[in-house]
Amino acid sequence: MKYSKFNFEITFRAPSSKARLGKLSTPHGVVETPAFIFCATKAAIKGATPEEMWREKTQIILSNTYHLMLQPGAELVAKMGGLHKFMGWNGPMLTDSGGFQIFSLGHGSVAEEVKGRRQSTRPKSLLTITEEGATFKSYLDGKTHILSPEKSIQVQRDLGADLIVVLDECTPFHVDKSYTEKSMHMSHRWAERSLKEFQRGDTGVQALYGITQGGVYPDLRRISADFVNNQPFFGHAVGGSLGADKAQMAEVVQMAMEPLDPSRPVHLLGIGGISDIFYGVTQGIDTFDCVHPTRLARHGGALTPPSVWEQLEENPKGREHMNLRNARFRDDPRPIDETCGCHTCQTLSRGYLHHLLKSGELLAMNALTTHNVHFMNRLLASIRKAIDTGSLREEKIKWIV
Amino acid sequence: MKYSKFNFEITFRAPSSKARLGKLSTPHGVVETPAFIFCATKAAIKGATPEEMWREKTQIILSNTYHLMLQPGAELVAKMGGLHKFMGWNGPMLTDSGGFQIFSLGHGSVAEEVKGRRQSTRPKSLLTITEEGATFKSYLDGKTHILSPEKSIQVQRDLGADLIVVLDECTPFHVDKSYTEKSMHMSHRWAERSLKEFQRGDTGVQALYGITQGGVYPDLRRISADFVNNQPFFGHAVGGSLGADKAQMAEVVQMAMEPLDPSRPVHLLGIGGISDIFYGVTQGIDTFDCVHPTRLARHGGALTPPSVWEQLEENPKGREHMNLRNARFRDDPRPIDETCGCHTCQTLSRGYLHHLLKSGELLAMNALTTHNVHFMNRLLASIRKAIDTGSLREEKIKWIV
């Protein structure tokens, strides 16, 4: 397991934080880090084509193992030549382990906890968790499936993304330290089984990420970091509970990152708020993912920097997107953001986007999705430049009101 | 009214039919005819961006006056710089008069009659038709509006398409000759009022089409053709009842075309089936429009030539599209049509499109819409070439099983 077709080169380390610049090389191209990973959940970005993702300077996307193993099935994707060929995306790709959806459908998600949304009205589809793996019911037809560490690797091998992730138990909310510790050790054993299955089938075209556990407990975070550091993972993801709110998340990310091997790339799972990204990079996080930019677009929201809000509002505090459904934009001939280089801002007005939303036209989703994709890629490019020039603090106030 | 920014040059006349090749020049570019006009009903093609329409070789699109006068309103479109700028389409455009929707909501449509669908469950929104114009209720909020010939021209002037059309009464089904004749004369008076309003505001950037009436009656068709031939229209559209079925439509199109001034471009309103297009061009029709190609795509249907069906079915008779939802395509690695040069057929498989449809992904609509747009443009390009080489009959059997 030499990951000879992969490389993570750290090209610059900030002198006053753990922020760094890197080049993450995969068989499908190089990702300049820090980078944002967009969610193509079911092997398609909702609202944008692969060509539009490239045009708006996307480096890497991910798909979800949970959804794809149920529809169309991993074997079918393998038969069709793997995810890249299947969906026509020739750049770097990541798949997750499938665990997040299974456990979040059972317990509610880590992201929901961090964001203060703890209630879920969805039926619980997680049936049991044992040493063997997780048993769950398909969201499509109610059939029972088992996801074991080995099965997750097999499915991800069939899917064929460049970067793949071990199965872990996403620990439920508000469990005590004893549960967290036991869960961590089981996730470590699952990681060892994942590695073994990965090595068994390794042909050099995929690289495996381990996940660091330990919840909100510093001593457990250290034990888990020691564990993953000593396993032959290509990269790490920060997993386990990140706490009850944004303040605690910052603390937990710091304690999780502190003991991690700094030579490996680190992914922060499911987190992609603008301030979270600024914080994460100072802790050494290299990649982020979140459905927010593309989901927001489908609801009529366009991400905008403070410069836009300063023109629109007396008190722009806390604004980060405009709802184009708002009647104030009805006859507004300006683009969403005059400083944005995306295709939507180059060609379409707020007034037209408002009309498309009022009329229920599909084009509204496409125009806003590609804008939000460009926004995130522009944000991360600005962050990379600011790390290079030592101006991350100054850069942050250009993006957060 | 010299239409000095417009021109219709007939570059070739077929020796054995009325088929001809032309160049229809507008301030936004030249349309090679015969051509298909795609429907961007509410100032957006459903399922494709303007860039994708160009990429798939679209020459001209249309928008509907009825929809746009209600949302966002013609004055707003004018304030935003007109339709071309509003929607980011820099090619030739046509708008209809708005009458078709008003009358078809009142009576049921001509196309439905031809296609044998005469029942409508929609509430009748047409209130009255008088010499002044038509009074109707908005489909959005139930408010009462009046569409007069003058108002239609004013609205179309605000919208700013290159080619615009006079308001006519779309005569209801199965009326007697006396009603048809009275209606024709009223439509002629409306056409004169339309011309007067057009001349009053003419700045040279729009060209006006008249509509020939007369239903299924040869003598009325001749009277109506004489009328429009003697008015300073740039082009003509074939209007009025086209009969009760496809066979009668062919007869009526022939009798309508026979006496029309052959130097002007002729549009056949709302008709765009493959066999109808082959027939229409032999009668001298220059442009066609229909929602079918883009609507079919949104329901999972891809237009395909007989060569595709000959591979799939023992008896391919009558097939013209494949429903990608069909389970037979689940693991089919082939493109929709190996002979098609569209972006979808170059990059995506039937299996992937089936997966997108099963998963409810927006991308399915985009991939199938752009394919169907390319198909229609490729069909019309083949027809133009076949007119040039005198092989229209041979060409037809490549497109219709």
pLDDT at B109: 52
A53 vs B contacts (CB less than 8 Å): none
B363 touches chain A (CB under 8 A): yes
pLDDT at residue B36 in the model: 98
Nearest chain B residue to A86, by CA: B352
Which residue(s) pair with A22 in the sheet?
A10, A33
Domain parsing of chain A, residue ranges: 7-290, 300-397
CB contact under 8 A, B366 and A365: no
Best of A45, A362, A365, A368 to substitute, by most chain B Cβ atoms within 10 angstroms, is: A362
This complex has an ipTM of 0.94
- Name residue A9's beta-bridge partners: A23
Token reading at A382:
């600005």
Instruction: pLDDT band for A109, please (50, 70, 90 cuts).
Output: low
Structure tokens at B166: 């006079």
The candidate with the shortest Cα–Cα distance to B3, out of B164, B226, B237, is B164
Position A106 confidence tier, pLDDT thresholds 50, 70, 90: low
Contacts of B329 in chain A (CB under 8 A): none
Consecutive H or E run containing B239? none
Sort out which chain B residues have CB atoms less than 8 A from A89's CB and list them.
none
Predicted TM-score of the model (pTM): 0.94
Residue type, A223: I
- Point out the residue among A86, A354, A363 whose CB comes nearest to the CB of B352: A86
Interface contact flag, B46 A355, Cβ < 8 Å: no
Q: How far is A239 from chain B (nearest CA, A)?
A: 28
The set of catalytic residues of B is 96, 289
Sort B220 into a burial class: Cβ within 10 Å, 0-12 / 13-18 / 19+: buried
Query: How far apart are alpha carbons A338 and B138 in whole angstroms?
Result: 36
Q: Do A80 and B44 touch (CB under 8 A)?
A: no
Q: What percent of chain A has pLDDT over 90?
A: 83
pLDDT at A168 over 80: yes
Are the beta carbons of A46 and B363 separated by less than 8 Å? yes
Cis bond upstream, residue B27 (ω within 30): no
Work out the pLDDT band at A337, boundaries 50, 70, 90: very high
Tell me, yes or no, if A64 comes closer than 8 A to chain B by beta carbon.
no
* A interface test, pick of B159, B324, B325, B366 with most A CB neighbours within 10 Å: B366
Q: How far A203 CA sits from the closest chain B CA (Å)?
A: 24
CB atoms within 10 A of CB B119: 6
Cβ–Cβ contact B73 with A under 8 A: no
Residues of B in contact with A354 (CB under 8 A): 72
pLDDT at B118: 47
The one-character DSSP state at B124 is P
Q: Decide: B23 and B396 in contact? Cβ < 8 Å.
A: no
Give average pLDDT by consecutive 10-residue segment, chain B, 401 residues.
93 97 98 98 98 98 96 98 98 94 67 51 72 89 92 98 96 85 96 98 97 95 98 96 89 96 96 95 98 96 94 86 96 97 98 98 98 98 98 96 83
- Across chain A, what does the average pLDDT equal? 93
The CA R_g of chain B, rounded to the nearest whole Å, is: 21
Cross-chain CB nearest to A349 (options B44, B80, B343): B80
Q: What is the 3-state secondary structure (H, E, C) of chain A?
A: CCCCCCEEEEEEECCCCCCEEEEEEECCEEEEECEEEEECCCCCCCCCCHHHHHHCCCCEEEECHHHHHHCCCHHHHHHCCCHHHHHCCCCCEEECCCHHHHHHHHHCCHHHHHCCCCCCCCCCCEEEECCCCEEEECCCCCCEEEECHHHHHHHHHHHCCCEEECCCCCCCCCCCHHHHHHHHHHHHHHHHHHHHHHHHHCCCCCEEEEEECCCCCHHHHHHHHHHHHCCCCCEEEECCCCCCCHHHHHHHHHHHHCCCCCCCCEEECCCCCHHHHHHHHHCCCCEEECCHHHHHHHCCEEECCHHHHHHHCCCCCCCCEEECCCHHHCCCCCCCCCCCCCHHHHHCCHHHHHHHHHCCCHHHHHHHHHHHHHHHHHHHHHHHHHHHHCCHHHHHHCCCC
With CA atoms as reference, report the closest residue to B20 among B265, B207, B196: B265
Question: Chain A, 4-63: which have a CB under 8 Å from a chain B CB?
Answer: 42-47, 49-51
Give the model's pLDDT for residue B173.
66
Model pLDDT for residues A173-204, shown as the tens digit of each residue: 678 999 999 999 999 999 999 999 999 999 99
What's the distance, Cα to Cα, between the start and end of chain A in Å? 46
> B75 — contact with chain A (CB < 8 Å)?
no
- Fold of the domain spanning B7-290: TIM Barrel (3.20.20)
Whether B72 and A363 lie within 8 Å, measured CB to CB? no
Average pLDDT over residues A114-127: 57
Please give the Cα distance from B190 to B166 (Å, whole number): 8
pLDDT at B44: 98
Interfacial B residues in 336-355 facing A (CB < 8 Å) = 343, 347-349, 351-352, 354-355
Q: Measured between alpha carbons, how far is B105 from B310 in angstroms, rounded to an integer? A: 40
Half-sphere exposure of A368 (CA within 13 A, CB side): 31
Q: Are B177 and B91 in contact (CB under 8 A)?
A: no
